[in-house]
Amino acid sequence: MFKVLRDWVQRYFSDEEAVVLAVLLVLGFTAILTLGGMLAPVLAGLVLAFLMQGLVRQLESLRVPRLLAVWLVFALFIGLLALFLLVLMPLLWQQVITLFNELPGMLGKWQSLLLVLPERYPHMVTDEQVLEAIAVTRGELGKFGQLLLTSSLASLPLLVNAMIYLVLVPILVFFFLKDHQLIGRWFRGYLPRERALMTHVAQEMNQQIANYIRGKVIEIVICGGVTYAAFAALGLNYAALLALLVGLSVVVPYVGAVVVTVPVALIALFQWGWGDQFITLMVVYAVIQALDGNVLVPLLFSEAVNLHPVAIICAVLLFGGLWGFWGIFFAIPLATLFKAVLDAWPRQPPALVGE
């Protein structure tokens, strides 16, 4: 057993740079797991600056001075943030309040529809099953209402945290954009002089992971915007709220589109019932999903690493369980990073028998 372990270590960790990279990866993941809550504004600013760095480079390629390019991109970021806070957030909040006010009426209508099922399909659905489903739904809604009340009572700390984010994150974004070369030189000063492996992994990240993250943000904006325009044109209630859900659903591959279909269909069903408007809405929604999967995704992610669906699902489950929404969002980039490290990892050929 000891010989097997020794041979494995000699094969995969005989290179000094490989050991340093392994230590850096372990320390990085440990720091995020243990200090992620405290460093969340720094991580958010770093991610946003990472997303906008490509736009800065494009302006530099047009011979715009770097500092001016940074200020232009930062001004665009502040403008979009102000648009989100002053226009989109009030609209979303109003629709959330309206939805909660109308939930009892929706529940009553849903209950009436369920009570008719045993009469129409007596061999498939019984009265006891319907009453049990209604009781379970009421219990879950009651728990959700208690959770909402508790969250509203503890809203002051959340408001303080939101204000901290609104102040710190833009400042951090600006300095990460402005001084990223200085920060990079400082960080590289602690790395070994010979770092071909780290350079290869860094280039892989810049070429594929950065493109994936930027492409995913663009996909969220396009899907959410097109969905809102379509839902609003058809007169669907809570169009902005549902469009936000549809936009965020593209973060979770394969599952997100299926899950978000349920609230879209239920709200349309409660508003219009089984009719032409409901069918038209679902057809339009299906067209949007088809265009996203067959046109938009190939255009945005043509250079992304081809990961097996099983690997993608495992990455979403693992990193989502560790870091919540952000873990789900970065699941594929992290899986791509892991694959890039494995592909570039130096290894010695296995020893021959008898040597």
pLDDT score of 195: 67
For tokens 């992971």, what's the residue? Answer: 209
pLDDT score of 142: 61
DSSP states of 220-241: HHHHHHHHHHHHHHHT-TTHHH
Which tokens in the block code for residue 353? Answer: 């028998």
Q: Which amino acid is at 182?
A: L
Length reported for the chain = 355
**What is the C-alpha to C-alpha distance for residues 295 and 289, in angstroms, rounded to an integer?**
10
Q: CB-based burial of residue 238 (10 Å sphere; 0-12 exposed, 13-18 middle, 19+ buried)?
A: buried
- pTM comes to 0.68
Query: Cβ neighbours of residue 318 under 8 Å, at least 6 residues apart?
Result: 327, 331
Task: Determine contact, residues 251/328, Cβ cutoff 8 Å.
Answer: yes
Question: Looking at residue 311, what is its pLDDT?
Answer: 74
Q: Per-domain residue ranges for the chain?
A: 196-346
Q: What residues have CB less than 8 Å from 10, skipping those under 6 apart?
A: 348
| In contact, 236 and 281? CB cutoff 8 Å | yes
For residue 199, the model assigns a pLDDT of 73
What secondary structure letter does DSSP report for 345? -
Dist CA 313 CA 323 (whole Å)? 15
pLDDT in tens, the chain (355 residues): 666 666 655 555 556 666 777 777 788 777 777 776 677 788 788 878 877 888 888 888 888 888 898 999 999 999 988 988 888 888 888 888 887 777 777 777 666 766 676 777 677 767 677 677 767 766 666 665 555 555 554 555 666 677 777 888 899 889 988 888 888 788 777 776 766 767 777 776 766 677 777 778 888 889 999 999 999 999 888 888 899 889 888 877 667 788 888 888 888 888 887 778 888 999 999 999 888 877 887 777 655 556 667 777 787 788 777 777 667 777 777 777 777 777 666 655 555 444 4
Place of tokens 């045993």: 118
Residue 354: strand, helix, or coil: coil
pLDDT reported for residue 354: 47
Structure tokens at 91: 């609209």
